[in-house]
Each structure stands twice: as structure tokens, then as C-alpha cells.
A and B are shown apart, each in its own frame.
Chain A
Amino acid sequence: MRRRHSLTLAVFLVAGGLATGGVSPTEAADPYRIGMGAAITGRFSGGYAPTYEAYKAYFKRINDAGGINGHPVEITYEDDRGEPQRAAAAAKKLAESSILMINASISATYKPYMTEAETEKIPLMFGGGVCPREAFPPASPLIFCSTSFGSKWDSRFALSFIKEQAGGKKVKIGFAAQDIPLSRIELEFAEQLAKEMGFEAIPVVVVPGAAADFTPFAQKLKDAGADWVFSWAPWGVEIGVFEALQRIGWQGNYLLYGHQQTEDELARLKAPNLYAFGGNALFTEALPIHAEITRIVKGQTTHPPHYMAEGWVSAMVLEAALKQCGWPCTREKIAAALATVTLDTKGLRGGPIEWTADNHYRKTTYYKVYRWDPAKNAIASVGGWTKLDIK
């Protein structure tokens, strides 16, 4: 009986210790409450779950080190599975208790989050999915976007790059889009722009994401005589069409937007005619920040460290904004802080992210192109960073 009492006492002591003395000052302080809606699971999670994981790892480290301005950052995560109905419920829930919402999901979920942001006057930052037009100048006061890719600007860069590579030779260009609005609209814009830039443009080939075989789509591009193909779509379609073109013996060049998978896939395919452009530096550049991310996320993610870049930059932006916001931080104050953010991306991007009152995308965007270099037997960049001013 005495032994049982001793055991009970010990349990109470341990529990009491945990409840009082075991708590760090940061944990005791009121937190910054942030809400994130992301496609953590579901059909589209491949491109967005890494952002969620990056946020978790990033703010675990921040909180372990004492938080921001002496307050921990408490992020509520809602899995919207990339489904608009779930997104609507998630947005409502997140808006109730947060000072800022973050979206890392497919574009089909944007509307509910943006409606909620507008109704509840809560700022909304996109970090992982494509930037909506409301983030570009003249920006909506509540909409921000840290994602590396953005419509129209990506196509402008891509076509300029192809023109430069062609070296004055007439180019016949094809486009491979996925059957989602953003991809189609972007590549229809690119097709129009290509004509204005003097390319011979083949009409956009729209590929269903659930296609059993990409060969018929690739065949259409090959038969049309494309020298170059430009794809701006989710990774499965981008790379699927390229591989199908390869399988049917196409000899042209292919430029795609480099999502998180780029590094693995360039190394797997070892195809010198496959070019990937993007706003994030590949981890093959082995910058100190890459080593830091690799070290921090070790054991905390189901994805390789180089999948974290997009989410990491977004988390850096949030940290900078919260520091600037001070305490207490309200919705109005964080929106004001975000609108003046200037972030040194430490090499993850080609330059800083600078937001202004009417530009919540960035004042300047940077692109770099990579491909497999057979001579080096490694991934190599094709030139340095290219800078585009966003107006």
C-alpha cells in the first residue's frame, strides 16, 4: 500500500513539474496565432506537403530558441486536401483564431481563403502555390505571396531564355499545359507572347492530369514539328510529356518550371535537352543555407531537404513580418508589416524579397535555369540569375 502511495506521489510530482517548473518562459507567453491551410494529404499533396513540413521544422526551431519577441509562434494546420469545400471550412476555422492565414494548396482552394480574408479582414499569404493576380501590383491590401513562381512573368522569362538559346535561329515552339485553369491561361498567354516575339507557335496542348499515357500528347507536339516545348504545369504533366517525347525519339529542347522534384529528376533523366527554370537555387549549389536547412529538417520530414526551399522562404518571410509586428500583433499590424517586408533570402533566391504597399509579389524577381551537363556529369546552371523588375 505504501509503495502505491509513493508511486502516486511521484506521478503527481512529475506532473506538477511538467505543469509549472518544466515550462519555458516562451511556452508560458501568449503565442502569435497563425493559421495554415494546406494540401497536406490528397491527390495534390506532393507539391504542398513539403511546405507544411518546412513550416513545422522552421518554427519548431524558432520556438525552441525562445520564439519571436519573446512569444512562441503557434501555427494551426488545416488539411484542405486541395478540395474547395474543405478549403472553405478550413478558412473559416483558421480565420476565427488567427492573425494571419497562410495558403499552401492548389489554386482551386484560393477563392474560399480569399473570400474569408476579405470578409474577416485577415491577411492571407500564399506560400507554395502559384501567386494570384491580387498579389501583383496594384496589390490587394490583404493578399501576399512568397511563392517563387508567378504567372505571366514566368512565361516572359521562359520565352526570352529560349530566344537567347536559339541564337537568332527561327524557333517553332510548342506548349504543354495541364487541364487546370492556371496552367492553361498561362500557356495561352505564352503562346500569344511567343507570336509577338517572333516564334512560330504551335497551339497549346492541354493534358489531363489523369492521362494514362502521355504519348499521344507528345506525338501531337512532335508531329507539329516543335523545336522547343515549354511546359508550366504541375510536375507530373511537365515531366510526363517530356519523357513521352523522349520515348518517341524527339530531339528538341524542353523547358519546364522547376518544382521541388527538379533536382532528383534532372539527375535521374540525365537529359541535356531538358532545361528547368525557377526562382529557387537548387541544393546542388551547396550554399550554407542549404546545409542549414538539411541539418534542421533532418528526421522531421518525409521529403528530402531540397523540397523545403519554397516553404522555407515563406517561413522566413513570416518570421521577418512577426519580428516587425512586435507584440501585441494584430491583423492590421501584421498586414502593415508584411507590406514593408524586405527579406534577405540568403541565396535561396537570386535576391531579396521586397514588398511594398502596392506590390505583394516582389519588386524584383529572379530566375535561374538548370540542366544536366554531360561533360560535368552533374546538374549545372545555364548562366547566372536573371532579374526581372515587377511593375
Chain B
Amino acid sequence: MTQVLATTLVVASLYALLGAGYVLVYRASRVLNLAQGDLLTLGGYLLFAVTATVGAVPAVAVPLAVALSALTGFVIYQVLIRPMAGHPVFAAVLVTVTLGILLRAGIVLVFADRIRHPLPMLGWSNPPVALPGGSVLSAFDLATLGTAVVVFGALFAFLRFSPVGIQMRAAGERALLASQRGINFQFVFALAWALAALCGGLAGMLYACNVRLEPSLDVLGLKAFAVALVGGLDSLAGVIPAALIVAGIEVLSVRYGDPLLSDVSPFLCLLAMLLIRPWGLLGTREELDRV
């Protein structure tokens, strides 16, 4: 049972990092970023590319790949999403769908469709770590868990205490009012996209080091989308219990039920949530109307 718990925490951490990306973008700009799964894949490939370029220097390669992930989000907003201002929201959503397709094609074009493993290139290994209670996790399982904790802690602190974070919340709630108060909401939106891409990129890098890197990792984004909806699209805090519930059901269905259920369990959770509480665990009714 402790192993089930440990595995659930790891899967939940991955989903939470991805889910945070959906929520950050939605909260700030009311756009559903359906390319979040592709930003995960891109993050993994950025780590791979940077490592191949600068060599096995993790102290340089990892921060550089993380920074490039964030920069990608910033650029996506400025180039693709910002010009959509004034158009219906669904147009921006369609842009993210197109972006996802283009990212996938671009990745195959540049990196080919082979499975890659950045970990040995970084000179790192991924040994099993025995935990109290007899469960075992890999070093990168623990890194995924730790990263999720740190990222969420940092995001909560940023949104709660930093001036830019407060501006981001304000712009998310009333963009017009925020701009009249002198908030550069375009910058704030771009920052939200950068943070979302950073979260997705981090998830991709960790997954690539822990499991594998291939162009089709975007499917993880779909599961995390269910997590974001279960938690409430406008609630960062909602992502945490939602990720735990979705991951828990997924792991339990493998362990005690039909493993094939694990593939659809996130969507079963979503369906159940839509029937019981359509605005999500910690989301608001008003946001549902906006969606």
C-alpha cells in the first residue's frame, strides 16, 4: 500500500505541474491552452538539445533549458496570442490547437521520431531509493515530487505576495480595470504564459530523465487537462487535490482493477466532476459561465 501511495504522489506531481500551466494561462487570459502537453514535450527536447550543445554540464544545461522553456511561453504569447485580442476566445483556443500540431511536427522534423534519453548525456543516473515502509522510488521520481512542491510553493508565494503576482491576479479578474489602474496587462499575460511553459517544460524534463523522451508525450497533457478541470480551471489550489484524486484512481485501477481503466480514469473523474460540480473542486461558478 505504501508503494501505491508513493507512486500516486509521483504521478500526481507530474499532473500537478502540467495542470498548473493550464490554470495559470486560463486565470490570466481566459484562454484554454490546449498546447500544454506539447510544451511538456518541448521542455524535454530543449533539455536534450541544450545538453547536446553545451555538453554534460547539468549546472548550465538544466537552467538554460528551463529558461528557454519560459522564454518559449513568453514568445508564444507575444507572437500568437496577443494578436488575438479582440477576437472571440475560441479563436485563441484554436490557435493553441494549431500551435500544438506545429510543435509536434517541428519536434519530429528537428529531432526525428526516436526515443531519446537525456539522462546519460547529463552524466546522471536514476538509482532506486528505498523509502520507509518498504516502498521504492527512483531518484527522479523524488525529484519530480520535490519539484512540484517547490514550484507550487513558489507560485502561491508569487501570486500572494509579489507586486507582479498581485497584478497578475488583478489582470485575470478585471483586465480593463487593471489596465486603467496602470497595470501592463499584456506583460502580465505574457508572464503567465511563460510560467505555464516553464511548468510544462519542467514536467517534460523530469519525465524525459525519469522515463523517456519522444514526440508523442503530449498525450500526458490531455490527462493533466482533466486534472485542471477537476480542480477548477481558475483555481491553482484546486490542481493539488485534483491531481491526487486523478493519480490515485489511476494507480489504484492498475493495482487492484483493470489496468486498462488507468488510461481513461482521468476522464472518468472529469465526467463525474462535471455531473456533480461542473465548476470543479475549488473553481468558481462564475468562471464556468465564462467558459
Contacts and interface: CB of A to CB of B under 8 A. Distances in A.
Give the interface size class of chain B.
Answer: 35 or more
A268 B114 contact: no
Interface string A170-213: 00000000010000000000000000000000000111101111
B143 to A, nearest CB: 13
A251 to B, nearest CB: 11
Nearest to A46: B113
Classify the secondary structure of B's interface with A.
Answer: helix
B136 A236 contact: no
Contacts of A268: 117, 120
Contacts of A243: 211
Given A45-B108, A207-B259, A216 B128 contact: no
Interface string B91-132: 000000000000001001000111101001000001010100
A179 B260 contact: yes
A61 interface: no
Contacts of B214: 46, 236
B137 A43 contact: no
A211 to B, nearest CB: 7
A211 B254 CA distance: 10
B14 A213 contact: yes
Given A211-B262, A247-B141, A45 B113 contact: yes
B173 interface: no
A150 B210 CA distance: 32
A217 B259 contact: yes
Interface string B124-150: 001010100000111001000000000
A165 interface: no
Contacts, number: 94
A261 B4 CA distance: 31
B284 interface: no
Contact of A249 (B115, B136, B219, B260): B136
A219 B10 CA distance: 14
A41 B32 CA distance: 27
A210 B214 CA distance: 11
Contact of B14 (A46, A212, A219): A212
A112 interface: no
A215 interface: yes
B262 A208 contact: yes
Given A216-B254, A268-B120, A208 B223 contact: no
A45 B107 CA distance: 13
A215 B219 CA distance: 18
A210 B259 contact: no
B263 A179 contact: yes
B28 to A, nearest CB: 26
A168 B140 CA distance: 39
B179 interface: no
B115 A46 contact: yes
A32 to B, nearest CB: 29
Nearest to B211: A240
A214 to B, nearest CB: 7
B262 A216 contact: yes
A160 interface: no
Contacts of B11: 212-213
Contacts of A216: 4, 7, 250-251, 254-255, 259, 262
Interface in B254-291: 254-255, 259-260, 262-263
Nearest to B10: A213
A210 B138 CA distance: 20
B14 A208 contact: no
A235 interface: yes
B77 interface: no
B152 to A, nearest CB: 18
Instruction: Identify the interface centre among A247, A302, A303: most chain B CB within 10 Å of its CB.
Output: A247
B263 A236 contact: no
Contacts of A214: 211
Contacts of B108: 41, 45
Contacts of B138: 247
B15 interface: yes
Contacts of B215: 43
A208 B260 CA distance: 6
B109 to A, nearest CB: 9
A249 B127 CA distance: 9
B113 A206 contact: no
A64 B114 CA distance: 29
A346 interface: no
B130 A249 contact: yes
Contact of A206 (B15, B117, B120, B259): B259
Nearest to A213: B11
Interface in B62-92: none
Contact of B259 (A212, A220, A240, A303): A220
Contacts of A249: 128, 130, 136
A210 B113 contact: no
Given A220-B254, A248-B128, A268-B117, A208 B211 contact: no
Interface in B226-257: 250-251, 254-255
B162 interface: no
Given A46-B114, A216-B255, A219-B7, 20 more contacts: A41-B113, A43-B216, A208-B263, A210-B219, A212-B220, A213-B7, A216-B7, A216-B250, A216-B262, A217-B259, A220-B254, A235-B115, A243-B211, A247-B136, A248-B137, A249-B128, A261-B114, A261-B115, A268-B117, A302-B114
Interface of A: 41, 43, 45-46, 49, 179, 205-208, 210-217, 219-220, 235-236, 239-240, 243, 246-249, 261, 268, 302-303
6 A-B pairs with the lowest CB-CB distances in the bound complex, closest first:
A208-B263, A216-B254, A302-B112, A247-B138, A210-B219, A45-B113
28 contacts: A41-B108, A43-B215, A43-B216, A45-B108, A46-B214, A49-B112, A205-B259, A208-B259, A210-B219, A213-B7, A213-B211, A216-B7, A216-B254, A216-B259, A216-B262, A220-B259, A236-B212, A236-B214, A240-B212, A247-B128, A247-B136, A247-B137, A247-B138, A249-B128, A249-B130, A249-B136, A268-B117, A302-B114
